[in-house]
Structure 1
Amino acid sequence: MGVAQAERLLKSRWRTASMAAGWAFPADWPLAEVDDVCAAVLEDEDPGDALVRLGRARAEAGAELGETLLDLAALHAVMTSTSSQIVSPNVDALPSRMLRSTALGWADVVTRRAGDCAAEDPLTGLATPAYLRTRLGEVYRETPVAPLDYALVLLRLDVHRASGWSRVVAMTLVSDALRTVFDRGETLATLGPSVAAVLVKRDELLTRRVSNLRVLAADRLADDPNVRPAGPAEVWVERLPDTHDQARALLAALGR
């Protein structure tokens, strides 16, 4: 069996085990760092550095530590099993070096985010997810009927169809479209590498403004052939949940 084929087989078995163990967002599982870990394992190299990078990537994608370690346990179970059947991951059976490397990478991202007091994303100019969560808290305290008075306008790109800096450029272009359409003091925020949100008051103009955003975002992306594959932008209105805690959970899910 060739090296490339062996890596594909290991990656496939790892993914299957992780999905069976309850990985919540299948589309988020494949990462370049997964391939790096598979390569290190099959070449009998120390996978420590690759696992640190994987931990960082999982945190950047929004995976919680428990979810990240269960995924790591799926890899370990596949590596140590001689059966071709689906294996059962056990976090407690993880070697300390594997666990430590992955957890350190994950914690590095979380610690950096916690220490970042900026309320604005430097690339898109949109507010950070933390600021939007704070603003939502204010809204829920301001009015007992927040779900009726407010809504979230969401915009999502398929950045996996673009590459390198083109992904960042695509989000920057649609962020400019967001600011053009929603220019009345609304809270505009990034929720992740491909999702942006606007906290708006419901009114008779909301439907028209959402339509304008679709058109303007399409125009922005059409101007650059390198970012065009990330479109068309998916734009929709999301009703606010009944409670602030539910709203926070919604933001976390939308940012994945």
Structure 2
Amino acid sequence: MNVPASGGELPRQQNGPDGDLPLRTLRARWRAASLAAGWRFPSDWALPEVDAVCAAVLRGAGPEPSLAGLARARAAAGAELEEVFADLAALQAVLAQPDSDDGFVVPDLGTTPAQLITATALAWADAALDQIANIQVIDPLTGLATAAYLRTRLDELYRGSEGRGRRAADDHTLLVVSLDLTTMTGWRRVTGMILVAEAMRAALDGGESLATLGPSTSVAVLRRDDTLPSKAVLLRRALHQRLSSDAYIAQIGRPRIRLVRLPATHESACDLLRELGRA
């Protein structure tokens, strides 16, 4: 059934006897509906805050605090408000149509309680404005530089290359490390990225710029010289050593490591970082 827009609650889901099975089922249906509604980057959807929202719904608790937490996390990950609203509408559609076993639902923000839309919008805006006013240099989770700092560092590289009559891509390249964390939830996602950061610091200790770009992606800016192949090999070994040491994280498979060429302009490089962080 649909919930009137003037209401303040999402439909309640009944919990079951199978541990966290109801939570996993709700999360899977929500993700499928959100992707069908246009969520652009599947790998960055399953944030830990998603589980908090699912748990609140299953308990029949007011979802506003957990939805606000998710909205802030979405803003920090680079999701636009339009996407966040579409994701909220997908959750509403899934809960309003519990008998849709095939996962086909039609998200409609107009059927979502206005109180929840407001809580989501305010939290997203608060986080987005905070990012602008307080740009951090170090990501507190991984200890790597933030994407904001990396953009500044790349600006220096581009200006330096232009001053020498060269292109930034002639002297530097991006080494991108991505994990497929779509099956991981909660602290396990966090653990995976912490282990990646440790491996990058261990293998790339020659002054390279290391940064985290999103919930499942980190990057290094490397010089294009004779040491590049050996550094990539060292990083792969370090990643294997650390990720395989955790039984749960080892289930996600090998991380994706690739070299990505820097584009012609700094503006294009910033666009590239946003895409990489959400791919």
d(CA) in 2 for partners of 1:126, 1:39: 31
Partner of 2:216: 194
Counterpart for residue 72 of structure 1: 88
Q: Following superposition of structure 1 onto structure 2, how do residues 48-67 of structure 1 map, counting pairs within 5 Å?
A: 48-67=64-83
In the TM superposition, residue 53 of structure 1 has moved relative to its aligned partner by 2.7
Deviations 1:54-111 (A, max 9, x none): 3233234432111101222344456668997956545466543121111123234334
Q: Aligned with 1:138: secondary structure?
A: helix
Partner of 1:119 in structure 2?
137
Matched position secondary structure for 1:255: helix
Cα distance in 2 for partners of 1:146, 1:246 equals: 12
Aligned with 1:148 (options 170, 174, 182): 170
Residues 174-183 or 164-173, more deviating: 164-173
* TM-score normalised according to structure 2 size: 0.72
Q: Decide whether the 8 Å contact of 1:162 with 1:229 is kept in 2.
A: no
- TM-superposed deviation, 1:187: 1.0
In 2, Cα distance between the equivalents of 1:173 and 1:7? 26
CA distance in 1, matches of 2:236, 2:99: 50
Q: Distance in 2 between matches of 1:38 and 1:170?
A: 22
Question: Which consecutive unaligned segments of at least 5 residues does structure 1 have?
Answer: none
Partner of 2:39: 23
Aligned Cα root-mean-square deviation (Å): 3.7
In the alignment, residue 261 of structure 2 is paired with which amino acid?
A: R
Shift of 1:133: 1.1
**Cα distance in 2 for residues equivalent to 1:200 and 1:24:** 29
Distance 2:245 2:30 in 1: 40
* The structure with more helix, counted as a fraction of residues: 1
Q: Measure the CA separation in 2 of the matches of 1:182 and 1:142.
A: 22
Specify the code of the residue in structure 2 equivalent to 1:245: E
| 1:96 paired residue number | 114
Higher deviation after alignment, 105-114 or 30-39:
30-39
Greater relative CO, 1 or 2 (CA 8 Å, sep 6+): 2
Q: Tell whether the 8 Å contact from 1:126 to 1:175 is kept in structure 2 after alignment.
A: yes
Which deviates more from structure 2 when the two are superposed, residues 63-72 or residues 181-190? 181-190
Gaps of 5+ in 2: 1-12
Give the AA of the match of 2:124: W
* AA at the equivalent of 1:50: S
Of 245, 254, 257, the residue aligned with 1:235 is 257
Distance in 2, Cα, partners of 1:190 & 1:221: 17
- For residue 184 of structure 1, what is the aligned residue in structure 2? 206
Whether contact under 8 Å (2:44, 2:214) holds in the other structure is: no
Please give the alpha-carbon distance, in whole angstroms, between the structure 2 residues aligned to 1:231 and 1:8. Answer: 21
1:135 is matched with 153
Identity rate, percent:
46
The alignment of Structure 1 onto Structure 2 pairs a total of residues equal to 256
Q: Distance in 1 between matches of 2:51 and 2:185?
A: 17
Change (3 A) 1:108 1:179: same
Equivalent pair of 2:147/2:213 in contact (CA under 8 Å)? yes
Structure 1 residue 123: Cα displacement: 4.0
